[in-house]
Structure 1
Amino acid sequence: MGPRLISCFGKSGRSSRNGKNDVAATSDEAILEEQRRGDGVVLVELFSSQGCKTSPEAELLMSRLGRGDFNLEKPIIVLGFHVDYWDYLGWKDPFGSSLYTVRQKAYVESLQLDTIFTPQVVVQGRAHCVGNEEEILLSTIDSAPRFPSPNFQANFQRPSSETLQVTLSGQVRMKIDQQGANIMVALYENGLVTNCPKGENTGRVLSNDFVVRKLEKLCSIKDTSPKKNISGTVNFPLWETFTSSKCGIVVFVQQNSSHHIFGSQKFDVPDNL
């Protein structure tokens, strides 16, 4: 069964690997040089919903990717963003957020698509495919560019039972030009199991890993050298069932204009928090 689609905006196309934004983002010689010596991970983002009948298969594929079931030549980081535009079908996704719908729409525009759909995978912010098409997904990851990963150090604290505080300090290891970029921090959770009594997945037990529970901006940077030290703190409001051993954070650098990803780094949340 194919993906669930909603008519959206932009120009048509189901796969974007070398669109005009790629040219604009990589025209700077310094960025090209960073790509040539890139040793970092590839960020794989899944946009899905528990209210979408075709999403569970993609969720299983993402779980397998994240735990290393495939013999990939490139290291990857997986993040799952649950959108909210299928909630009207009878089941409100407990992990869905309008913020993640907005994030997906930004990719729809930058990739020049005319539809928004689930399950959709976006790789390095610059190529996409249907999330449950395994062969195409693995090929898209294999052809993705790599950049140096940031080398941040992370300090975790619990100032209150309702808050996780993460302080980061280090270098992005990428030259950031006048277009600027945001350093984003995602807090994700593994091992989520949901009994679904309504909607298109009625009666199913849904398993989700790498689910983004919170997404915050550490800072915005512009005209920054690869070795410039950057530091900042984000505060994540926590949910009632938060368990640190099931969670991790991902730091990634995302260009403002193209939404391309220029480096990602992952940390486990300490068990004793």
Structure 2
Amino acid sequence: MAPAAPVGAIEIRSQAETVLELFTSQGCSRCPDADRLLAEFAAREDVVALGYHIDYWDYIGWSDTFALAENTELQKAYAQSWGKARIYTPQLVVNGQIAVVGSDRAEAERAVGAASMPLPVSLRADGLDAVVLNAPADADLPPAIVWLVTYRDAADVVIERGENSGQSLTYTHIVTGRQAIGMWDPARGADIAIPLDEVLGTNADGAAVIVQERNGQWPGRILGASAFSR
């Protein structure tokens, strides 16, 4: 396992074993425990942790300040991929394959302990302006999409209404955007240069690069991932 290492102004975390995607809401009374647990996992070198704030609880009294409609759509897409009719918060998706209750520490730790990904995904700094992704060829794996998921490292929010009214909560790895940046080919692998200023902008200070197969038209298993921050 390669540790996080500073390269100039960029810190790179390579070859993670687990990607954790937490679907959460500031308006959900059970979510603060899950948000704190995600922060603990985010400190591990072998975990890429992402907090996707959803918008479907906004109507109950507090509009989540980080909610994106796209996050809700991604959670619905996972449910479709697994043949499920229901989505909920806090939901923790592990490597795109299974979901557990995000506030259940024992269940989450079991899932993380059993998780692995078959594809090594590494990043290297190209000066101070870009990072370059490398994912080698592997004929035993299916073609996959390379996703770039930008995030804000941390923020404190005072919740003024709703189920968490009066609480000051800290959030970590808050997803600010998700876009496809290329394909991973089993025969050729992938080498993709990522320009830092263009992808991070002023609203993000880190990003995860995720190689994920498709389950029909829906998201499938995550094959490999890495992350960087500045």
TM range, normalised to the smaller chain?
0.7 to 0.9
Residue correspondence of structure 1 range 1-273 to structure 2 within 5 A: 40-68=16-44, 75-155=46-126, 167-175=130-138, 180-226=143-189, 228-231=190-193, 233=195, 235-236=198-199, 238-239=201-202, 242=203, 247-257=205-215, 258-269=219-230
Q: Distance in 2 between matches of 1:140 and 1:112?
A: 20
What corresponds to 1:34 in structure 2? none
- Deviations 1:97-120 (CA, angstroms, capped at 9, x unpaired): 000111111111112222100000
- 1:56 maps to a residue whose letter is P
CA RMSD of aligned residues (A): 2.5
Q: Distance in 1 between matches of 2:141 and 2:22?
A: 29
**Greater gyration radius:** 1
Please tell me whether the aligned partners of residues 176 and 225 of structure 1 are also in contact (alpha carbons under 8 angstroms).
no
Aligned length: 212
- 1:106 maps to a residue whose letter is A
Q: Distance in 2 between matches of 1:50 and 1:98?
A: 15
User: 1:221 offset after TM fit, Å?
Assistant: 3.8
What corresponds to 1:15 in structure 2? none
User: 1:168 offset after TM fit, Å?
Assistant: 4.2
- Deviations 1:33-54 (CA, angstroms, capped at 9, x unpaired): xxxxxx6421111000101111
Please tell me whether the aligned partners of residues 148 and 178 of structure 2 are also in contact (alpha carbons under 8 angstroms).
yes
Identity rate, percent: 26
Structure 2 stretches lacking a partner, 5+ long: 1-14
Q: Distance in 2 between matches of 1:233 and 1:149?
A: 21
* SS of corresponding position for 1:209: strand
Q: State the TM-score, normalizing by the size of structure 2.
A: 0.82
Greater strand content: 2
